[in-house]
Amino acid sequence: MASFDPFPVLTTPRLRLRSIEPGDVERIFRIQSDPEVTRYFGRGPDASIADSERRIATIIAGVREHTSIRWGITLEESGELVGTGGFWRWNKPHRWAEIGYELLPAFWNRGIMTEALRAMLRFGFESMELHRAEAQIDPENRASARVLERLGFAREGLLRQNWYYDGRYTDTAVYGLLRDDLEAAAT
């Protein structure tokens, strides 16, 4: 299985997916402090730069310990960091991991996340030897559901009211993609 050292940079026609570094904190804070971004996360936005510093430290530790991976999504043309995405909750014995992702709203609806996730999923199935990728989303997050469906994910079930935040319970939709599903969806 490939290690994450050196960090596996991935390229797509419009994007360069690279490691997230401490110097990215202002940009990560801009993304993570935006309530539009965190609307369906079942938690509040980052309130301070220190929150985003901790987030980056967790990402870097996960990569170093080979327990999770998150890429910074940058535009090939300008180098601008516009979002992040990657695998966490990696269950190595059973060969699956969960994906997570988010993008600055100014860049939504241009196919950026679909393009980025396709590259990450290919890496997951080929280099992390995953058999299954899983996504857990708020079923009201239509854009996220659409991205997953376009990539070939199947909606497998609904966890009813398993999340309590801000005085209310929300459901979680579970999506799964098996190794062969991704190639089938790309053709």
Ligand X SMILES: CC(C)(COP(=O)(O)OP(=O)(O)OC[C@H]1O[C@@H](n2cnc3c(N)ncnc32)[C@H](O)[C@@H]1OP(=O)(O)O)[C@@H](O)C(=O)NCCC(=O)NCCS
Look at phi and psi of residue 109 and say left if phi exceeds 0, alpha if psi is from -120 to 50, else beta: left
Q: Tell me how far CA of residue 102 lies from CA of 10, 112, 155, in angstroms.
A: 17, 10, 20
Distance CA 14, CA 113 (A): 11
The region of 20-28, 53-61, 65-73, 112-120 touching ligand X under the rule CB under 6 A is: 112-120
Chain centroid to CA 167: how far?
26
Sketch the per residue contact string, 138 through 177, with ligand X: x for CB under 6 A, - otherwise. Answer: ---xxxx-xx--x---------------------------
Distance CA 104, CA 74 (A): 11
Would you count residue 112 as binding ligand X (CB under 6 A)? yes
Say if residues 174 and 160 touch (Cβ distance below 8 Å): no
Q: Which residue in 69, 73, 137, 182 binds ligand X (CB under 6 A)?
A: 137
Q: Which residue in 92, 94, 110, 131 binds ligand X (CB under 6 A)?
A: 110
The region of 48-56, 57-65, 73-81, 137-145 touching ligand X under the rule CB under 6 A is: 137-145
Tokens describing residue 137: 């989303």
Which residues is 40 bridged to in the sheet?
A: none
- The closest alpha carbon to 155, from 171, 180, 137, belongs to 137
The residue (of 94 and 110) whose beta carbon lies closer to ligand X is 110
The CB-of-51 to ligand X minimum distance in angstroms stands at 16
The residue (of 66 and 163) whose beta carbon lies closer to ligand X is 163
The CB-of-101 to ligand X minimum distance in angstroms stands at 5
Which residues of this chain interact with ligand X, rule CB under 6 A? 37, 40, 101-103, 108-114, 137, 141-144, 146-147, 150
